[in-house]
Structures are given as structure tokens and as C-alpha cells.
Amino acid sequence: MSPDDKPDNLINAEGLRVDGRRPDELRPVEMKVGVLKQADGSASIRQGNTYILAAVYGPRELHPRHLTLNDRAYLRVVYRMATFSVPDRKRPAPSRREREISMVIANALEPALFLEEFPRAVVDVFIQVIQADGGTRCASINAASLALADAGIPMRTLVPSVAVGKAQGTLLLDLGDAEDKYGEGDIPLATLPPQDDITLLQQDGHFTKEELLEAIEMGVTACKYMHELQKEALKQAYAKRRPADDAEVDDEDDDDYEDDLETDLGESDLEEE
């Protein structure tokens, strides 16, 4: 978005936002599970114009080995934006922002997972932002937790996430790009239903104590709704899946995979870095 696209007002005289939403209204959300054939688990999310894919592999052997955790699996999250996902071409090299968001997403997801069941292994979560229009870290958490469930990773719960922001002194749910760029602040959060423990809470901009508490309440309520959408997306994926789909994966495939792994990983790759 160029400065020329800056709207005069983020909230009009009728109290509606630039895209016509009420302050407490989410963008249209569409989540799909099992969208990638190669991954152990996958999901996509469209939230307004934000579009994200998440792929999960594992639990599997961890390389490089010096990252090994003896008491649990390592949750390795890689959040990346496609070069074409933003108006100004995104440089392909991982940015500081992408590294920070990868870590924040891992921290939000980790309490939901029984990683202690897989000591020394890794669970890889690859998140690709195909189109960014605000709220990508929250949408990534929504999609990644669905992809983890799709991969069969033991979980306490799915992790819903949403951001609450502020413009012209009014709290706004689920910021779009213009609201994120030209608004007064942004509070992304994620929860663990049904207790609604908060696993992500960041704040950008200035909020009074009252605004902060109200924003958290608004976000937690919206997360409950997001959680319902996540469960629905999972149910739909499994309703479509025929038992025969699982039967197609036979032991021979597993043997081939082991052979390939040995061929692909030379001795040097197996050594610690």
C-alpha cells in the first residue's frame, strides 16, 4: 500500500471501517485442511485478502543434531512471506521480522502440543504467506494449528488467534492492512480453549489500561469463534476422507522412504553441524 492509498478516515461517520465492517466484525474467514499432498499435515486460511498455507512434517529425526532436546520434540516454525505477497516486492532472504514472527508463532503453539511424547525429534511447521493484507501472524497460527492436527500431532487443543487494534480511539477487531499501517495500535493474541489461556499477547502502539483489558476481552471472544471455525474445517476434511485413502499407504512405501532417506543423507549430513 503506497502513502497515496492512505484513507482519509479509518472509520466513517456511520461508524463503519474502510471495508464496511463494524468495529467488532471479523473479515470473512475460510479455513481448509489437508490441502497439500506432500506434507504430513496441511491447512490454508483466507482471512479477507490475507492468504496463507501451512505444512507440517514429523515428528521426524532432527538435523542438525545440536538442536536436539532430550526431554521433548523441537517445534521448528518457519514463517516466510512470498516475494509477491506484498505490494513492494519482498526480498527473498529471511528478514528479522520473519524470524521474530516464526519464534512468536512457535511460542503460541507449543503449549498446545504434547512434545514430551517425542524426545529428540523435530516437528517442522512451514508457513508461507501467499498474500499479506494484515494479521498474518494470527492467521498463520490458525492455519498452523490445523496443519498440526491434520498431521496427527497429539494436541491439547487447537490454537485460535486474532488481532485487536485501534483507530480514531475505537477498538477494532481483526485489522486489515490499512488499519494496521495507519491505525493507532495492534494487539495480536492467541488462546488455548476452553480455558482461554493466552499464549500470544503482543502490543504495538499506545492503549490505556481500560482499552487493553477491553481489547483482550474482545480478542478472547473472537478466538472462541475462530476455534469453532477451526473445528468445523477439521470435521469437513475428515468427512470427505474415505477409509480407502489411508489404506493406499502400504508398508512398501515406508520401506522406500527409509531407503531414500539413507541415500539422501550422506554420512556428513548425519554428523552434527
In the list 47, 102, 136, 161, the residue contacting ligand UDP (rule: CB under 6 A) is 136
Answer whether 235's CB lies under 8 Å from 149's CB: no
Segment near ligand UDP (CB under 6 A), from 24-32, 61-69, 130-138, 141-149?
130-138
Rg of the chain taking only CA atoms, in angstroms = 20
How far is residue 129's CA from residue 88's CA, in Å, rounded to a whole number?
Answer: 14
Residue 158 contacts residue 146 (beta carbons within 8 Å):
yes
Stretch that binds ligand UDP, among 22-30, 53-61, 68-76, 135-143 (CB under 6 A): 135-143
Beta bridge partners, 80, equal: 128
- What x/- string results for residues 94 through 123 when contact with ligand UDP is judged by CB under 6 A? ---x--------------------------
CA dihedral 105, 108, 110, 113 (to 10 degrees): -110
Q: What is d(CA 197, CA 220) in angstroms, rounded to the nearest whole number?
A: 9
Exactly one of 40, 124, 174, 180 binds ligand UDP (CB under 6 A); which one?
180
Q: Which of 69, 82, 86, 155 binds ligand UDP (CB under 6 A)?
A: 86
Give the helix/strand (H/E) hosting 48.
Answer: none
- 80 is an interface residue for ligand UDP by CB under 6 A: no
Among 58, 135, 183, 219, binds ligand UDP (CB under 6 A): 135
Q: For the beta carbon of residue 86, count every other beta carbon within 10 angstroms.
A: 16
Least gap, CB of 104 to ligand UDP (angstroms): 9
Residues near ligand UDP (CB under 6 A) = 86, 90, 97, 132-137, 177, 180, 186, 188
